[in-house]
Amino acid sequence: MVTFPLRVRPGAARTAVGGGHQGRYGLALVVAVATPPVDGRATEAALTAVADALGLRRRDLVLRAGEASRDKLVAVADPPTDLAQRLDALRGPAPRA
């Protein structure tokens, strides 16, 4: 099982996955979603977008922490061998402090 941090930005004009944010759990992958943060809908939309961007099935991702927070911790139960490279490609270069 591999765990990685996620930063959700709800209420965006469109859904997009990419960029990095130094958050509560470390350098997080940023996900902007058009869905409002109501009743977990933004979280679900973010997990679906991340699964698509990583070439995984939605059911492969499990929310480990941050259900009601913008900073989340996501686990992949049976990760592909190149998951770290896929995440790095989406995060891009580390943001400057």
Q: Output DSSP code: residue 79.
A: -
- To 10 degrees, the CA torsion angle through 66, 72, 77, 79? 180
CA 66 distance to own-chain centroid: 11
- 86 falls within a domain: yes
Quote the number of domains for the chain. 1
CATH of the domain at 44: 3.30.1200.10
- Sequence-distant (6+) residues with CB within 8 A of 77 are 1, 60, 62
* pLDDT above 90: residue 70: yes
Q: Which domain holds residue 25?
A: 2-91
pTM over 0.85: yes
Per residue in 13-46, pLDDT (tens digit) is: 999 999 999 989 999 999 999 999 999 999 999 9
- 87 falls within a domain: yes
- 43 falls within a domain: yes
Which of helix, strand or coil describes residue 48? helix
Confidence of residue 94 (pLDDT cuts 50, 70, 90): low
Structure tokens at 57: 């099935």
- 96 falls within a domain: no
